């Protein structure tokens, strides 16, 4: 183990130099002359170090399923009417729609008619997909339409992916730099916002589904009467409008949606030149413009409601037909309200409500403090460990310390190349690696000392020291590696950074402790031709 071919020596030295060079981007900002094509890779700083906001959002899956079930009920009613099949008591039950055919003899016809609403989803099965609905009937005429497992999963994927798209658009509108938006697990979305230390506005934007609808009011029903509204009408609260008793104003809004927010193409905040009030200007696409034109033409003089997520933003009276597809919403907005509403309308509605299930926000100066504390700890730790090693092992201790420095550089270089994220626990990991990789050096040096004491020549002692210690080093490091992989697999956020730094640190320490340090010792021994070892 003590012979090093020339090319090996150069590649070892080269690798260590590469480690130093590849670590540099972390301390030197990219120079202006640096060619675009050559990567200048540095570690990412985690949000806990650079400051920022981490949000974990959950897509409200039950709401998605509920909506799909309502949709199926509509389809059932239409099909049954078309097929002249009378039905009773249609209802949604956990992932299924159940109804009764009045004449049980018609159950088979009903099932046949409903086959047409089944579509294939997913990629499994022949012909690309599996049916999304499972329709069954019993002899007494009960028909059950069950959303299949595959359909549920497909729906979830769709909802999450659409939500991610919308979330991205909304966040982009706010001008946050380098946000990370990614799917996590089955129904969650991870959002990382570097540099955002007060995420209130973004939280508000993301917490709004922003389903906008234009509907007519029912002028014949008094929403304050306390009575049940007639079928097809619901009572809604106003967003910003209050009655004289301080409660939100109520409106009797028809359930039928005349025009949807999805038909909007443009939205922007502005002020009304006459009143100075904040408003949102919008524009419909051609379909929306036509419908809006029709509705306003037929209902001149009547009030209609602009509804956002089940709240009435404003309920103006239609003065004249609006055929140009343009309009404005005035709802007692503040400047911020108007701007946020414009952002929401431009970015589109979420397919389902999002809930923030986890938030971690760190201010930039706290992050800076953490970096300072981390660097100070690493430096002091280095000094303490180096002092101890050199005091214990003399010259070989110096070699070991050089190995540790190389180890640190190689770890940082590897983290940079991987674009890994350095977190606060990750910095602790860097420090701990130092302690753990000293172990290899101590094992080797102790072994050499033992072998020397047993009367071996310097070469033989070193040979035995390295080869015997090697299997121990591999065994002990492998156990730590297994642990860190588990931590990475099951941990989350900053703790993963810890697992990554320790893993890379241990891998590189195997190289520095057993190869680099050995090389230094061999070169020294050849040059000095000593009869005893400085152990």
- Which one among 183, 476, 515, 525 touches other proteins, defined by CB under 8 A? 476
Residue (58 or 132) nearer to other proteins, CB: 58
Number of residues in contact with other proteins under rule CB under 8 A? 81
Give the integer Cα–Cα distance in Å for 534 and 350: 71
Residue (45 or 431) nearer to other proteins, CB: 431
In DSSP terms, which residues pair with 250 in a beta bridge? 237
482 touching other proteins, by CB under 8 A = yes
Residues 496-535 that bind other proteins (CB under 8 A): 498-499, 502, 530, 532, 534
Residues 391-420 that bind other proteins (CB under 8 A): 391-395
463 touching other proteins, by CB under 8 A = no
Residue (197 or 283) nearer to other proteins, CB: 197
194 touching other proteins, by CB under 8 A = no
Residue 480 CB, nearest distance to other proteins (Å)? 4
Residue (21 or 383) nearer to other proteins, CB: 383
- Which one among 10, 39, 369, 457 touches other proteins, defined by CB under 8 A? 369
203 touching other proteins, by CB under 8 A = yes
374 touching other proteins, by CB under 8 A = yes
Residue (275 or 531) nearer to other proteins, CB: 531
483 touching other proteins, by CB under 8 A = yes
- Radius of gyration, CA atoms only, the chain: 35
385 touching other proteins, by CB under 8 A = yes
Residue (320 or 475) nearer to other proteins, CB: 475
- Which one among 86, 108, 373, 418 touches other proteins, defined by CB under 8 A? 373
In 272-353, beta strands by DSSP E? 278-284, 304-308, 311-314, 326-333
362 touching other proteins, by CB under 8 A = yes
For residue 208, what are the contacts with CB-CB under 8 A and spacing of at least 6? 308, 309, 344
Query: What's the start-to-end Cα distance of the chain, in Å?
Result: 19
Could you tell me if 410 and 479 are in contact, meaning their C-beta atoms sit under 8 angstroms apart?
Answer: no
Residue 97 CB, nearest distance to other proteins (Å)? 27
310 touching other proteins, by CB under 8 A = no
Instruction: Show the binding pattern over residues 204-233: x = contacts other proteins (CB under 8 A), - = does not.
Output: ---x--------------------------
Taking CA 9 as the corner, what is the angle to CA 3 and CA 12, rounded to the nearest 5 degrees? Answer: 120
Give the integer Cα–Cα distance in Å for 448 and 393: 11
Residues 66-105 that bind other proteins (CB under 8 A): none
Residue 24 CB, nearest distance to other proteins (Å)? 24
- Which one among 15, 495, 507, 515 touches other proteins, defined by CB under 8 A? 495
160 touching other proteins, by CB under 8 A = no
453 touching other proteins, by CB under 8 A = yes
446 touching other proteins, by CB under 8 A = yes
Could you tell me if 345 and 337 are in contact, meaning their C-beta atoms sit under 8 angstroms apart?
Answer: no
Residue (305 or 484) nearer to other proteins, CB: 484
384 touching other proteins, by CB under 8 A = yes
Residue 225 CB, nearest distance to other proteins (Å)? 31
Could you tell me if 505 and 477 are in contact, meaning their C-beta atoms sit under 8 angstroms apart?
Answer: no
For residue 324, what are the contacts with CB-CB under 8 A and spacing of at least 6? 289
Q: What is the β-pairing status of strands 233-242 and 311-314?
A: parallel
Taking CA 164 as the corner, what is the angle to CA 162 and CA 165, rounded to the nearest 5 degrees? Answer: 65
Instruction: Show the binding pattern over residues 28-67: x = contacts other proteins (CB under 8 A), - = does not.
Output: --------------------x-------x-x---------
Assign residue 355 a region (left: φ > 0; alpha: ψ between -120 and 50; beta: otherwise): beta
CA count, 13 A, side-chain hemisphere, 288? 18
Q: Which helix (H) or strand (E) holds 330?
A: strand 326-333
Tokens matching residue 452: 């020397």
In DSSP terms, which residues pair with 266 in a beta bridge? 283
Could you tell me if 160 and 184 are in contact, meaning their C-beta atoms sit under 8 angstroms apart?
Answer: no
Stretch near other proteins under the rule CB under 8 A, chosen from 110-118, 150-158, 219-227, 381-389: 381-389
122 touching other proteins, by CB under 8 A = no
* Unique residue bearing structure tokens 């350095």: 422
Residue 401 CB, nearest distance to other proteins (Å)? 11
Output the CA–CA distances (angstroms, integers) from residue 235 to 80, 252, 308, 404, in the order listed.
Answer: 30, 5, 14, 71
In sequence order, what DSSP letters do the residues of 67-117 get, joined into one string?
HHHHHHHHHHHHHHHHTT--EEEEEEETTEEEEEESSGGGHHHHHHHHGGG
């Amino acid at each position: 183990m003590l012979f090093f071919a020339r090319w090996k020596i150069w590649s070892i030295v080269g690798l260590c130099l590469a480690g130093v060079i590849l670590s540099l981007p972390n301390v030197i900002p990219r120079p202006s002359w640096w060619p675009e094509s050559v990567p200048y890779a540095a570690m990412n700083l985690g949000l806990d170090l650079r400051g920022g906001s981490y949000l974990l959002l959950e897509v409200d899956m039950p709401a998605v399923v509920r909506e799909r079930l309502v949709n199926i009920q509509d389809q059932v009613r239409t099909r049954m009417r078309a097929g002249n099949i009378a039905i009773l008591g249609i209802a949604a039950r956990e992932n299924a729609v159940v109804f009764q055919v009045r004449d049980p003899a018609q159950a088979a016809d009903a099932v046949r008619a409903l086959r047409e609403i089944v579509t294939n989803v997913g990629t499994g099965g022949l012909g690309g997909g599996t049916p999304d609905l499972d329709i069954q009937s019993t002899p007494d005429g009960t028909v059950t339409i069950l959303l299949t497992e595959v359909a549920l999963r497909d729906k979830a994927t769709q909802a999450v992916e659409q939500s991610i798209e919308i979330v991205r658009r909304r966040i982009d509108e706010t001008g946050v730099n380098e946000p990370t938006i990614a799917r996590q697990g089955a129904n969650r979305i991870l959002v990382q916002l570097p540099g955002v230390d007060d995420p209130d506005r973004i939280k508000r934007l993301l917490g709004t589904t922003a389903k906008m609808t234009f509907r007519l009011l029912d002028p014949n029903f008094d929403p304050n009467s306390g009575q049940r509204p007639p079928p097809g009408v619901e009572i809604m609260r106003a967003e910003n409008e209050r009655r004289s008793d301080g409660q939100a104003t109520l409106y009797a809004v028809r359930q039928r949606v005349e025009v949807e927010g999805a038909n909007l193409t443009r939205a922007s905040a502005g002020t009304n030149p006459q009143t100075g009030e904040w408003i949102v200007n919008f524009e419909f696409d051609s379909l929306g413009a036509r419908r809006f034109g029709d509705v306003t033409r037929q209902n001149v003089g009547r009030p209609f409601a602009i509804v956002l997520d089940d709240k009435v933003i404003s309920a103006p009276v239609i003065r004249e037909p609006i055929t140009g597809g343009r309009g404005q919403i005035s709802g007692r907005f503040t400047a911020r309200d108007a701007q946020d509403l414009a952002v929401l309308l431009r970015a589109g509605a979420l397919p389902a409500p999002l809930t923030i299930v986890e938030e971690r926000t760190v201010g930039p100066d706290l992050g800076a403090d953490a970096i300072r504390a981390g660097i100070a700890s690493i430096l002091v730790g280095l000094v303490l460990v180096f002092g101890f090693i050199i005091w214990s092992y003399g010259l070989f201790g110096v070699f070991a310390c050089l190995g540790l420095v190389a180890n640190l550089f190689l770890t940082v270089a590897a983290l940079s190349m991987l674009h890994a994220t350095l977190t606060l626990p990750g910095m602790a990991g860097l420090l701990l690696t130092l302690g753990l990789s000293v172990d290899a050096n101590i094992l080797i040096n102790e072994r050499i000392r033992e072998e020397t004491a047993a009367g071996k020549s310097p070469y033989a002692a070193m040979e035995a020291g390295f080869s015997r210690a090697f299997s121990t080093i591999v065994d002990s490091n492998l156990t730590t590696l297994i642990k860190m992989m588990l931590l990475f697999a099951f941990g989350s956020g900053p703790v993963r950074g810890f697992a990554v730094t320790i893993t890379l640190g241990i891998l590189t320490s195997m190289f520095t402790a057993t190869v680099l340090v050995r090389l230094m010792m061999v070169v020294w021994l050849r040059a000095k031709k000593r009869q005893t070892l400085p152990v």
